[in-house]
Structure 1
Amino acid sequence: MTTLRSPDGTRLAYVSVGEGPPLVCLPGGPMLPAEYLGDLGGVDAHRSLVLLDLRGTGHSAVPADPATCRCDRQVADVEALRAHLGLERLDLLAHSAGAALALLYAARHPDRVASLTLVTPSPRVVGLEVTDADRREVAERRRGEPWFAAAYAAFERIWSGGATDADWTAITPFTHGRWDDAVRAAVDRADAQRDADAAARYYGDGTPDPAAVRAALAELRVPVLLVAGEYDVALPPSRAAEYTDLFPGGRLVVQRGAGHHPWQDDPGTFVRAVVASPVRPGRADTGGR
């Protein structure tokens, strides 16, 4: 573990895993420690993964002002990490809610970004709507799963507006391409580390207007890879395609059989997508197993 200081003095921590050119990795959650990313299914065999614990998570310090955990206010932390690493430009990989921070960094510092890899990114920061109908279409594909009936019933209660906390827990299998003991254990570890207050601050009042973010990203002239999961109810493939179109250099890979954590569902396919040579913008690939 290595530490650095942010501009406001908050101590930030990161670990480097693997060999090769550095790939700075921003975790989701929001506000989960970066350890859940692991080696990203084996990407560390090709890249040195720089796994940053966002302020207030993992081994990074809790800031004196909790409001600085808002995603746009953490852009300065990523820029401090870039300077600390001595890199002119960053290759950034972000998962889920971590994409909000990555995209806000790219919007503010486009000249400091070499490439973006967005893994099942949250659509919130760009104002992309995912409807209940979108999620229902994806969920219906899982009817053959043994857990489907109970999980789908919980989803229906959520869609009707009558959900309980137990219902939100019950739909967890829909966010994974497979639902076995290893995945359940990973979910339990993440739940134990989850901080609801920190998560709420990440998307707190005052975050940038999505229209302004989209306008900035439309001018971003770097390769952008978006990896979506075929079974991801958080960002269904149809919405992932719309998301990818926001970037002039966007390329979409839809990983078959994958959910919200595609490196867990099929590491080999995920690694091939992430380390592949860039292809021309506008081409969509479908990752197989």
Structure 2
Amino acid sequence: MTQPILEHDSVAFQAARNAENQLWADFNLKPKARWFKLPPDDLRVRVLEFGHGDPVLIIPGNTGDPYPFAPLLPQLAGYHLFVLARPGGGLSDGFDHEQVDVHQFAVDLIGQIMDKLDLKSAPIIAHSMGAHWATWFALAHPERVDQLILLGNPGRMLMTKTPGMLKMAMMPGLGQWFMKRQIPKSAKRAWGPLHRMGTDPVAVSKLPQSFAACVYAFDHLPNYAVSTLSLLRSMNSEKNHNGLGEDQLRHLSVPTTLIWGTNDALARPELGQEIAAVVQHGELVTINGAGHEPWIDDPEKVGTIIRLKLKDSRLRAELSRR
């Protein structure tokens, strides 16, 4: 297996890193970057570390870019946040998901990263496809997950049909056309993906220009297309059986909170209610008018919900030690 390497001395890498650094500065964030090489091919994976306090692991959606969390992270002050840049995004090496068993890779990846970070267990906050991967890990290793906080439609759970906007990516000959439509042609057009995911235009207008610069720079990294298309095909192809159905979700024993925007373009909150009803300790919280990244629409409200849930997790941990 040969995965696409991201050259750190390339112009594209430097442009993405510079855009991201400016975004962190705009939100008064000072991350520490940690790099790990994972077997069997020394895949380079980046983790960004923020703050101090009880540890929390954050797993981004899409192909794994951490930068969209910039509006949310200041709301989680007082915690030691570890944001995993999944292979394929976030300046980690590129990744062709069709070369691996994605389910097993996801479980192994999260476990290896937690080991390297010396996290015996931790709450996990995850978005979209990252939420799907986090749920796989919680099913395999519930003793390592204090709780799940899943943002937006969590990948492919209880979904019997592929969302229309994703079907194009899976059709022969249409994948590249799909990617051309998704990748902005300039930073001025980089707000398009947020609008398509249901984010309120008023919320988008409040974001700094450095956010748009990140969208443009990270979407133009050389491995973005292969990472994205292979992920969508692997996760949404019926022959791969990577969806999470009712029989699997009934075994999910860790406390699980779904935070779902009412305008999420990938699925309605009613699906979230079904998921919350199936898992053993599930709860759905909706964010009115928010899209697929609900913390961008209302970072204060989403942050408040998460802080309350993290306090519950801390209390359970303290009680278990008595």
Q: Same fold per TM (> 0.5)?
A: yes
2:275 is equivalent to residue 251 of structure 1: no
Aligned-partner residue type, residue 178 of structure 1? P
Aligned to 1:75: 107
- For the aligned residue pairs, the C-alpha RMSD in angstroms reads 3.3
> Kindly tell me: are residues 188 and 240 of structure 1, through their superposed partners in 2, closer, same or farther at Cα, counting changes over 3 Å?
farther
Partner of 1:176: 199
Pick from 267, 271, 278 the counterpart of residue 299 of structure 2: 267
Separation in structure 1 between the aligned mates of residue 261 and residue 227 of structure 2, nearest angstrom? 26
Deviates more, 1:76-85 or 1:188-197: 188-197
Question: What is residue 72 of structure 2 aligned with on the other side?
Answer: 40
Determine if contact 1:71/1:202 at 8 Å carries over to the other structure. no
Tell me the CA shift for residue 210 of structure 1: 3.0
Identity %: 22
C-alpha separation between the residues in 2 aligned to 1:53 and 1:178?
27
1:242 corresponds in structure 2 to 274
- Residue 67 to residue 190, structure 1, CA distance change in 2 (3 Å): farther
TM-fit CA distance, 1:102: 0.9
The answer to whether the 8 A contact 1:122-1:234 is kept is no
Taking structure 1 as the reference length, what is the TM-score of the superposition?
Answer: 0.72
Q: 1:171 to 1:266 in 2, by over 3 A?
A: closer
Residue matched to 1:193: 218
Alignment of 1:119-198 (within 5 A): 119-127=151-159, 129=161, 172-173=195-196, 175-179=198-202, 180-183=204-207, 185=209, 186=211, 189-194=214-219, 195-198=224-227
Structure 1 residues 268 and 63, CA gap change in structure 2 (3 angstroms): closer
- The TM-score, its normalising length taken from structure 2, stands at 0.66
Point out where structure 1 has 5 or more consecutive residues left out of the alignment. 136-163, 281-289
Mapped to 2, the partners of 1:120 and 1:239 lie a distance apart of 11
SS in 1 for 2:146: strand
Matched, 1:276 2:305: no
How far apart in 2 are the matches of 1:81 and 1:188? 28
Report the counterpart of residue 139 of structure 1 in structure 2. none
- 1:101 is aligned to 2:133: yes
Structure 2 CA distance for aligned equivalents of residues 189 and 69 of structure 1: 30
SS for the counterpart of 2:133 is helix
Q: Which runs of 5+ in 2 are unaligned?
A: 1-32, 166-176, 183-191, 313-322
Q: Is the alpha carbon distance of 1:208 and 1:23 closer, same or farther for their aligned partners in structure 2, counting shifts above 3 Å? A: farther
The residue number in structure 2 matching 1:160 is: none
Other structure's SS at 2:201 match: coil
Quote the Cα distance in structure 2 between the aligned partners of 1:202 and 1:167. 17
Distance 2:96 2:267 in 1: 34
Query: Per the alignment, in what secondary structure is the counterpart of residue 126 of structure 2?
Result: strand
- Name the CA distance, whole Å, in 1 between partners of 2:230 and 2:200: 29
Structure 1 pair 41–4 and aligned structure 2 pair: CA distance change class (3 A): closer
Partner of 2:320: none
Preserved contact between residue 7 and residue 80 of structure 1 (Cα < 8 Å):
no
- In the alignment of these two chains, the number of paired residues is 248
**Secondary structure at 1:42 match in 2:** helix
